[in-house]
Amino acid sequence: MEMIKSAARMHMVARKCRAEGRTIALIPTAGRLHEGHLSLIRRAHELAEIIVVAIAPSLLEGEKPEGERRGERRARYLSDDVEVLSPLGVHYVFAPSREELFAEGACTEVVVRGLSERLYGATHPEHFVRLTTYLMILLNLIHPHFLVFGWKDAQQVAIVRRMVRDLHVDVELVTCPIVRDADGLAVAPENERLTERERQSARVLPQALEKAQVLVAAGERNTANILKAMREMIEAHPTIRIEYLSIVDGETLEPIPLLEDRPALVVVAAFVGKVRLSDNVLLNA
């Protein structure tokens, strides 16, 4: 496994692999790898001969420039991630700095209008602009045959799918199911910050999603009724503050009043104490 921090080196390696007729799967991550990411790697091995795991620079999340402490923390996380990846048959880890990818004075962005401003984007309008711009840079550097994502961030999947379609990007988008812990919580680094009591309360999030599935299976089609039942379940826990709870079209992310035959997405994000968690489930898939 080779760690690559140079964009030029990554481009050269990927071009050589393609010239040799070898298929490439790219797994973009934000680092701090967990079982959810490992499931993506296992899926990538089923698809391609060369596996590239990209670890985004911290400024992708809109953080302030890296000071010494933040830089040390990123280096520690990166070291941990490399240790996790070493035995998994990953061929390349691409972990560039922000400066390596974004030239000083760069003024080009990739914006997926509409989808990027909904849900999480409603309060973080620049997040998905940074994400899609970063992903387009990765796609241009690596030219993978497969782009592998987890369904944990369903909004991200919808936005990337639209970007790939609108810009005729020559890549196949592959999505993998959410990996859950034994208590139903979607696996995420944030779970580690929950106290035992908060973790017990947080279990209501996947339980509320399951409630939505049960109601739909029983014939409920009015999304207001489904959301009301979910909200009552969640708000019974005083330590939880809902950021958003919605049922949206699986492709456009627009809220829908009635369930039809098209896939619909139930999405929830909430603060459990000070920890933000998100989850989702697909209906009519």
Give the separation between CA 233 and CA 205, rounded to whole angstroms: 9
Could you tell me if 272 and 202 are in contact, meaning their C-beta atoms sit under 8 angstroms apart? Answer: yes
Give the separation between CA 283 and CA 223, rounded to whole angstroms: 11
The DSSP symbol for 29 reads: E
For residue 33, give both structure tokens.
């790898």
For residue 21, give both structure tokens.
């007729």
DSSP letter string, 251-265: TT--B-SB--SS-EE
- Count the neighbouring beta carbons within 10 Å of the beta carbon of residue 239: 15
Strand, helix or coil at 36? helix
Strand, helix or coil at 152? coil
> Of the listed 34, 37, 127, 143, which one is catalytic?
37
Strand, helix or coil at 2? strand
Strand, helix or coil at 226? helix
For residue 37, indicate whether it is catalytic: yes
CB burial of residue 267 (10 Å; 0-12, 13-18, 19+): buried
DSSP letter string, 49-93: SEEEEEE--GGGGTPPPP-HHHHHHHHHHHHHHHHHHGGGT--EE
Residues for the chain: how many in total? 285
Name the residues annotated as catalytic. Answer: 37
